[in-house]
Amino acid sequence: MSEQEPSDIPQSRLNLIWSVLVFQLRLIVDGLRDVVLVPISLIAALIGLIAGGAEPARYFNQILRLGRRTETWINLFGHRRGSGTSDELITPFKERLFSEAEANPWVQKAGDTVNRSLDQVNDAVQKRRDDRDSAEDTKVDK
């Protein structure tokens, strides 16, 4: 892993927070979709068995197509690029939120305070890790 410049750390932390929030939102939407699709798929299968005639799977297959389209739109793991995904809705919101936050001095001050605190915690954790590694190296040498 490459070293980051100190000026990159706050931005990468902000992007991490944003990514986690978006992922949680997508998980919620995906879960709600699943909750809705369970009874709908059962009803579609039942209707197909009762009134499907020569194509009993027709209604169920329509539900599967709907599920694939919503899966593409939700883009849970963000691997799809381009149009037709929830990114079209999320990206403008992110840009607006980030630009408003950059323009607000109170948000900047709060962000700087949080980043300084996180830097102190990171330094303390790294020092403990280094001390532990040094102690283990000393044991191995003996």
Q: Are residues 108 and 84 in the same domain?
A: no
Q: Is residue 36 in a domain? A: yes
Of 43, 29, 40, the closest CA to residue 71 belongs to 29
Q: For residue 1, what pLDDT band results from cuts at 50, 70 and 90?
A: very low
Residue range 39-94, pLDDT digits in tens: 999 999 999 999 989 999 999 999 999 999 999 999 998 888 878 899 888 988 88
- Claim to verify: residue 28 and residue 67 sit in the same structural domain: yes
Which residues form the domain of 50?
Answer: 10-92
Q: Taking the complete model, does pTM exceed 0.75, yes or no?
A: no
Residues 16 and 54 in one domain: yes
pLDDT of residue 133: 79
For 123, the enclosing helix (H) or strand (E) is helix 105-141
Same domain, 59 and 109: no
3 state DSSP class of 6: coil
Together in a domain, 73 and 115: no
Residue 27: pLDDT above 80?
yes
Q: Please indicate, yes or no, if residue 135 is contained in any of the structural domains.
A: yes
Residue 1 lies in a domain: no
Domain co-membership, 62 together with 127: no
134's tokens: 């040094």
Asked if pLDDT for residue 141 goes beyond 80, the answer is: no
Confidence of residue 101 (pLDDT cuts 50, 70, 90): confident
Same domain as 81, residue 36: yes
Q: What confidence category does residue 2 fall into, taking pLDDT thresholds of 50, 70 and 90?
A: very low
How many domains does the chain fold into? 2
